[in-house]
Amino acid sequence: MNTRRTVGVTAVVAAVAATALAAASLPAVFEASSDTVQANLQRTDQSTQTEADISRPEIPARQDVVAAKEKPAAKNSMGERLQASIRQSADRERQAEARAQQANEGLRAANEALAERNETADSTRHRAEAATEVAAKAQDESGTVAADMYRGGRSGAADVLLGEDDVLARQATADKVAADKALAAEETARRAAEAEELARQAEAAKTAQAEATARAEEQQRRLDEAARIAEEAARQNEADREQLITLLADLEDLTVAEATASVEAMEQSERDSALQQAVAASERQAEETAAAPTPSAEPAAPSASTDPASTAPATSVPVIPAAPAPTPSATPSASATPSASPTPSSTPTPSATPTAAPTRTATATPTPTSTPTPTPTRTAAPAPTQTASPKPTPTTTPKPTQTSGPWASTAIDWAINKANESGSYYTWGGNGPKGYDCSGFTRDAFEAAGKYLPRTSTQQYRAAKQYVPLSQLQPGDLVFSTSNGGSSMYHVAIYIGNGQVVHARNPSVGISVTPLSWVNNIHPYAGRY
């Protein structure tokens, strides 16, 4: 009887201890991935729109333009007004395009987080089901041991008749069965506690999965709306631009073609100036970094030799202030041949011949003469309409460099061939092999060269092995667009040398080779792999 009481107490103690140990020692699948998931989810909110909306410009009446021609002062004022309106219309389209790209970046991060939580939920559910089955089996086995103990532990008149030796042997057997019972009870309690803990984790993972699903659906709605607004802004900019240039031609007694060329030259000059400011900002950052003492624990800022992937945690990836923003210029289209804008590198262009950016039809072939119209799977997006002038005004002496590595030529060739490939096009969230978004395009280009890239623009920046200023670009480096000084990125392009990049731009323009100066809101630092 004492043996049975001891077994009961042991079982209770074992159950309590096993419950505590299971909760403390089980691999917490959901908790282990929560940091990564949360970081991905937070990126969906990093592109918060804080910039004031740019309004559609008011277009003066033709009679007012004609009347202004009578007086020099009025004519000059009207000319400045028309040029300012052209800039404003283009900037409005540029802003809408950037916001759509930011929403696309957020959706990619939200979908990655959802995929991770789906995997976590499935894994924990399967583990919980398996643990419950094992616990039930342990319970059955424990019951069998209890029955054996009951049969082996009985004593009575028969024990007395058997003699003292037989009674002692019988008691030893009972003690052995009792010990087995205690072990079985402990195992049963442990299994039950493990099953209970895994069931809790599975439920938590299911809740997190639902939250991630809701976040991804909300981000999809944001993208759909942002893409709609961008498409509308592109159409309006195209119409307003044509009307404003016609009025400018009337004012200056020029043909429409002459006025268009004048506007394009102005826009290219402004883009070149913006790029030069970004290059200068990156050079200043590099000089300040080289001059400043670097703490032993954390690097002060990126430099050409910084390797955050091997020497610093992800949280130490630097946030670098964006370059000073000059008067925003129009987003170019491909009616003019891309010119080599101020270039940080004079590395020869790869063997594949880069072509000008595509025309305003949603074409995948970036040559000006080709106009196949792909059928994107998602809502259409902003379409740059203004053209580039072939008259760059570089102010930085090119510095001959080598490529980022032997693999870079392979990645660049793949990207240029894809840009020239009939049927290639831009689509939001596109993963290929025909339709791509910007980061899906760079990922597959690098994969063709044996290099791994994560999925989003922000992740690709943070995963870079080095950060290099724009003045030190080499073919194969990734250049980025940011609207918040580098906290997150919303566009990525591959630098191919000679002041040019290849990138998946938007649904209307497609995949194309363009001057580096056409990358809006360019970040002063590039990522090198």
Q: What is the pLDDT of residues 321-347, one digit of tens each?
A: 443 443 334 444 443 334 444 444 444
Q: How far apart are CA 75 and CA 206, in angstroms?
A: 68
* Maximum CA extent, the chain: 137
Element (H, E) at 210: helix 164-252
508 secondary structure, DSSP code: T
Evaluate the CA torsion angle 394, 395, 398, 403 in order and state its sign: negative
Crossing angle of the two packed helices 164-252 and 72-153, in degrees rounded to 10: 170
Task: Report CA-CA distances (Å) from 25 to 29, 198, 348, 444, 515.
Answer: 12, 11, 58, 41, 56
CA-based end-to-end distance of the chain: 74
Q: How far apart are CA 27 and CA 31, in angstroms?
A: 9
| Amino acid occupying residue 95 | Q
pLDDT band at 151 (very low <50, low <70, confident <90, very high): low
Give the SS3 label for residue 380.
coil
pLDDT of 114 > 50? The answer is yes
46 secondary structure, DSSP code: T
> In a 10 Å sphere around its CB, with 0-12 CB exposed, 13-18 middle and 19+ buried, how is residue 136 labelled?
middle
Q: How far apart are CA 128 and CA 199, in angstroms?
A: 5
Strand partners, 431: 436
Residue in the block written with tokens 């909760």: 23
| Full-model pTM | 0.69
Q: Residue range 153-159: average pLDDT?
A: 49
Q: How far apart are CA 454 and CA 447, in angstroms?
A: 10
pLDDT of 399 > 70? The answer is no
What tokens appear for 454 in the block?
A: 């994560």
Task: Report CA-CA distances (Å) from 487 to 51, 322, 414.
Answer: 15, 10, 30
> So what's the pLDDT on residue 402?
59
Residue in the block written with tokens 């800022």: 301
Give the SS3 label for residue 283.
helix
Report the DSSP pairing between strands 332-333 and 386-387.
parallel
Q: Percent of the chain scored above 70 by pLDDT?
A: 62
Nearest to 56 by CA among 92, 81, 24: 92
Report the mean per-residue pLDDT for the chain.
75
pLDDT digits (tens, 9 = 90+) for 204-224: 989 999 999 999 999 999 999
Q: How far apart are CA 181 and CA 387, in angstroms?
A: 85
Q: How far apart are CA 302 and CA 315, in angstroms?
A: 13
> In a 10 Å sphere around its CB, with 0-12 CB exposed, 13-18 middle and 19+ buried, how is residue 407 labelled?
middle
Q: How far apart are CA 319 and CA 172, in angstroms?
A: 73
> So what's the pLDDT on residue 294?
56
> Does residue 432 come out as left (phi exceeding 0), alpha (psi in the -120 to 50 range) or beta?
left
Task: Report CA-CA distances (Å) from 69 to 62, 77, 250.
Answer: 11, 10, 9
pLDDT digits (tens, 9 = 90+) for 228-285: 999 999 999 999 999 999 999 999 999 999 999 999 999 999 999 999 999 998 888 8
Q: How far apart are CA 389 and CA 85, in angstroms?
A: 19
pLDDT of 297 > 60? The answer is no
> Does residue 409 come out as left (phi exceeding 0), alpha (psi in the -120 to 50 range) or beta?
alpha
Beta carbons within 10 angstroms of residue 258's beta carbon? 14
Nearest to 304 by CA among 324, 287, 279, 292: 287
